[in-house]
Structure 1
């Protein structure tokens, strides 16, 4: 069977991502960076399954939005839900405690992803979910990661906003008749990522994390790149 380009874009990351989150949830001790981040593991469970369902859906249905009357949607939800159950159960064998709330966070992330995929096609859905991951990680991380893990923090902001900008430019090609590098196109290409960056940093400041100028500068570099 010949895979489409879009399937390759999702299957390859899926084959890397799914084993990675399985390993992460079966490490006997919670990773140090999670402890230092002071972030709820429920938030991480939510994000993990948000991304997992996105990759899984487009791996099996690369050019179709979610339609709730289709059996494929419910099969995806069924498989992911049962995986979440088994995942929590197996954690009891590696010294971690199975948690019903973790499972509910997993399920919420999966359903959220399907809702987004029922509204948006591939590229806009990618943009929305990437933005959601950036927003949640930035806003709900209660520790100042710029001080605790400066290299990791810098890499996250640079790559995350660079990837967000790349996805936005893909969407922009379908929205604007003007092509790059026309001034109107360039203005639009920079406006949305920059506005999103400022909104995220404002939300983070309101949440008590303060305004982090260095993070803004690194994120802006990712947008410009």
Structure 2
């Protein structure tokens, strides 16, 4: 049996001297080489505790194996089959108390950096599949219309899942930009607005309508 690798790959970051002079994202993200090195630490447990710890039940071993194999389109497919907001979740989801907390290597205080790998896949897709990316295939319509109030993370996720099920979903957002707390409550150096907008655009590409400046109730 191969020896466990307990050394997590560090996330590159802006130096304190540089980040003191800008509001850009502090964490810079993995390179492909760094992501594959971190993915290589995953022991592909028969009992997938990390999936049990994920609120949306992403096939975490599956997308990590795809990174390891260099099959990035497959990693994107696996992630987005369960999560419409991987670039956001990879940055601000509390993985340390969810999927990473249930990772088998957490017992050795060295869980796989699942959030960093999720972010890497989302950033890779945006950088490499933008122009070539085909619009998601629309499912057969159920004829049902559903209103979602608010375009925060819950509203965006609910609307995306409803659209994937064939329902006609419309989000009503009181403010003039979609995103809710993602846009207005998290600073740029933690979650860049362009990341939020890219994932709002993806939700819209599923057929979700977003009505801005629409106060409900």
Scaled by the length of structure 2, what TM-score is found? 0.27
